[in-house]
Amino acid sequence: MTLTLAVLVPLLPFLGALAGLAAGRRAPGLVRPLAVLPTIASAALAVAVACDLGTGRHLDAATRLTPTGSVPIDLAVHLDGFSTLLAVLVGVVAGCVQIYSTSYLRDDPRYSSYAALVSLFTAAMFLVLYSGDLIVLLVGWEVMGICSYFLVGHHWERGDARSASIKAFLVTKLGDIPFLFGIFALGADAGTFRISGVLGAATTGQLHHPTLIALLLLCGVAGKSAQFPLHTWLPDAMAGPTPVSALIHAATMVAAGIYLVARLLPVFLLSSAALVVIAVMAAVTMVGSALCALAQDDIKRVLAYSTVGQLGYMAGALATGDRDAAVFHLLTHGAFKALLFLAAGVVIHAAHTNSLTAMSRMPDLRRRVPDAYWTMTIGLLALAGIPPFSGFFSKESVLTAAEHAAHGEALTGGLGPATAVPTSVGWIVLVAGLLTGLLTAMYATRLWLVAFRSASPVPADTAQADPAQPGAAAGTAEPHAMRWPLWLLAVPAVALGLAGLHTTWLPSFLDGISLTPSGSTAILGTCVALAGVLVSYTAWRRATALVLDAATASPTLAAHELDESTRPEGTAAEPREITADLATVPGRTFTQALADADSAAAAASTGHAPDPARLLLGPLLGPAANGFGLDRLYAAVFVRPVLAAAQLVRFLDRDVIETYVAGAAGAPRLLGAAVRRAQNGNAQTYLSALLAGAVVLAVLVAVVQ
């Protein structure tokens, strides 16, 4: 029974995707139901599976399709608390995203393929979650990769979307190749690809190269979950439609890497070196991405960098051996980050720009999108880790795990000895986590204040009295399909954290490790978060005051003050880049959207918006806004040599090899021309040649004899 339901969960969206692709052109009316209904049904079934399985049990089932001769590949299902709970999360988020998309992309000409790809993506994620075999898991993993490629490149008319999709694909594949070898090494050592078999081999010490395997697998995880060296694709992937960002880059695909490490944690626990690597990777990711998030002007990029940072938290929790905390944070983060992205979509829809600077020039933005305003507030509070919200509990559970690990008593949940986790890992994660907590609170506050609370230096009455102000009339009433998924997601964003408080609630589904925050980290974490909020608020107040002063002060002083309080040139988001996304918003044509974006850009350039980022980051702002130049570094180190090599190959192909080819064609042509001249139609010439040949032959024969 449970098994049947569990098989249906990935199957329904898959069939929905196939039907959606098939029906897309012929029956446009069917696309919406075919997109929404299977996903919702899957979500319901996922809930049913989770309830049916209950706590503390796990279910393994497998069927072998065909013998492969060596290590067998099974169609296996492995259900436990981790997979069922994450499946519920994925189902709910995917359902919300599908409903939201029906409205957000209503007039998009490629909505049908978009919806089908989202369904296929959901199915692949379910497959990854439920699969009990590493090769089958890999199938889902790669299907997600290709769907991500298509969805990020949904607006392929735009160059940045194209390059972002290619970048996402290449970077994740760069991680996937070592990942594939890691799976092979794992299968070769364990003698099976079944996850249960692999874990059994890990406990009995059959794995001979745990560090190598763990590091190889880690490459794939870093690619998929956007960890430090391979994280650069995620901020660029925001070129996709906002719901895709919510689905892929918040709840599902990026979670797959974390989920995989959680599943295979016993393997990682065998190698303390791998754990240290994960910890360092997570720490660098966390702090760096938080700094980047603080400096970004594009609201979606802020959220993208924050996703990278939160994934760093999860990776840190895994490094300390506590997969319960990681999955707990994954669940709450999935809820509140999906909420944040969807709300950001509504805000972008209303403001017609991605740019925070431009948003701060719209005084009544808060009133125009009340739903988004309130749900985004909830989401940001959860993100910042303010106590009653879900983010607080899950983040505290991570910090608690790090604290335990730092004291040498890691909470491994019986997967391995506590001594398997070096204490340095705990310290690294703890320090980086606290620092990131501070920065997270700062950028969450900044985002909220700049987007919604900016007191515009432009007098409010002029802005309101101007009926031609673009966007003032449009977007006052967001469609229902874009509003109530926000509130649906707001519920877990607020309350999901409470589920970890008691050991019989959420932990009973998992390994049973207590998720209750310990006293010291709870106080420390809360203080850090509040400090971040206060610092950010103070900086914002000062920036606002400086901007207001600059309007009356002497030019040199004003310039200095403005320099202190606003964004430097070149770090603001390019408004035109996001207009194609806006063109899909109902009731607005592309030209209108373009005009809106232009006026927003004009507003951003003529006025001066207070931005605390400059005060908070100081000289770090420029590098942080550019992702610390990592893209440029990669371009210099990898992209340019590859391009140069391609040029060389092209040169070799065009000018060297083709010369031979052309010569091979030209020589017979010349020969043919020569032979052609001999073909003059004069029988006597032919006969002369014939007889001359005969004479030559005769002479040869005579001479040889």
Partner 1 sequence: MHLAYPAVLAALLFCVGLYGVLARRNSVLVLMSVELMLNAVNLNLVAFDVWLRDTLHAGQALTLFTITIAAAEIGLGLAIVLMVFRTQGTADIDRLRELADRPADQALPADADADPDLASDLAAADPDTASLTGSARGKADPA
Partner 2 sequence: MTAVLAASLSSQGHSFLTPTGVEIVFVLVGLAVLGAAVLTVTTSQLVHAALWLVVALGGLAIEYLLLTAEFIAWVQVLIYLGSVVVLVLFGLMLTKAPIGRSPDADSGNRWVALGVAVVAAATLVTLVVDAFRSTWMDLSSGGGSTGANGEVLFRYWVLPFEALSVLLLAALVGAIVLSRRHREEG
x/- letters, 632..671, toward partner 2 (CB under 8 A) = ----------------------------------------
Residue 680's binding partner out of partner 1, partner 2, none, with CB under 5 to 8 Å set by partner kind: partner 1
Q: Does position 4 bind partner 1 by CB under 8 A?
A: no
Nearer to partner 2, 551 or 695 (CB): 695
Radius of gyration of the chain measured on its C-alpha atoms: 30
Amino acid at 173: K
Q: How far is CA 582 from the centre of its chain?
A: 21
Question: Which residue matches tokens 């040949």?
Answer: 693
CB of 687 to partner 2, least distance (A): 9
Q: Does position 683 bind partner 1 by CB under 8 A?
A: yes
Best CA proximity match to 532, nearest among 313, 329, 293 = 293
Q: Does position 695 bind partner 2 by CB under 8 A?
A: yes
1, 477, 702, 704: which one binds partner 2 (CB under 8 A) = 702
Q: Does position 699 bind partner 2 by CB under 8 A?
A: yes
CB of 685 to partner 1, least distance (A): 8
Nearer to partner 2, 637 or 692 (CB): 692
Nearer to partner 2, 462 or 682 (CB): 682
H or E stretch including 62? Answer: strand 59-64
Q: Could you tell me which residues are beta bridge partners of residue 355?
A: 298
29, 674, 681, 703: which one binds partner 1 (CB under 8 A) = 681
Nearer to partner 1, 647 or 682 (CB): 682
Residue 671's binding partner out of partner 2, partner 1, none, with CB under 5 to 8 Å set by partner kind: none
- Check if the beta carbon of residue 207 is closer than 8 Å to that of residue 187: no
Best CA proximity match to 291, nearest among 305, 280, 311 = 305
Q: Does position 691 bind partner 1 by CB under 8 A?
A: yes
Q: How many residues does the chain have?
A: 705
Residues contacting 343, CB < 8 A, separation 6+: 371, 372, 375, 376, 379, 486
CB of 697 to partner 1, least distance (A): 15
Q: Using CB under 8 A, which of the segments 198-206, 269-277, 613-621, 683-691 binds partner 1?
A: 683-691
Residue 476's binding partner out of partner 2, partner 1, none, with CB under 5 to 8 Å set by partner kind: none
Q: Does position 688 bind partner 2 by CB under 8 A?
A: yes
State phi, psi for 465 to the nearest 5 degrees: -75, -15
Q: Using CB under 8 A, which of the segments 34-42, 106-114, 560-568, 678-686 binds partner 2?
A: 678-686
Residue 699's binding partner out of partner 1, partner 2, none, with CB under 5 to 8 Å set by partner kind: partner 2
Amino acid at 172: T
In Å, how far are 545, 549, 623 from 557, measured between CA atoms? 13, 9, 26
Q: Does position 682 bind partner 2 by CB under 8 A?
A: yes
Question: Which residue matches tokens 């070898």?
Answer: 181
Q: Using CB under 8 A, which of the segments 36-44, 252-260, 541-549, 689-697 binds partner 2?
A: 689-697
Distance from C-alpha of 517 to C-alpha of 220, rounded to nearest angstrom: 31
Distance from C-alpha of 107 to C-alpha of 280, rounded to nearest angstrom: 45
Nearer to partner 1, 51 or 698 (CB): 698
- Check if the beta carbon of residue 455 is closer than 8 Å to that of residue 541: no
CB of 686 to partner 1, least distance (A): 9
Q: Does position 678 bind partner 2 by CB under 8 A?
A: no
Write out the two tokens for 318. Answer: 């895994």
Best CA proximity match to 442, nearest among 294, 336, 299 = 294
Say how many residues touch partner 1, by CB under 8 A: 10
Q: Using CB under 8 A, which of the segments 143-151, 442-450, 474-482, 687-695 binds partner 2?
A: 687-695
Residues contacting 504, CB < 8 A, separation 6+: 55
Give the 3-state secondary structure percentages of the chain, helix then strand then coil, rounded to 5: 75, 0, 20
Residue 679's binding partner out of partner 2, partner 1, none, with CB under 5 to 8 Å set by partner kind: partner 1
Q: Does position 688 bind partner 1 by CB under 8 A?
A: yes
Distance from C-alpha of 427 to C-alpha of 437, rounded to nearest angstrom: 15
Write out the two tokens for 564. Answer: 């202190």
Q: Does position 679 bind partner 1 by CB under 8 A?
A: yes
Binding site for partner 1 (CB under 8 A): 676, 679-684, 687-688, 691
Binding site for partner 2 (CB under 8 A): 682, 684-685, 688, 691-692, 695, 698-699, 702
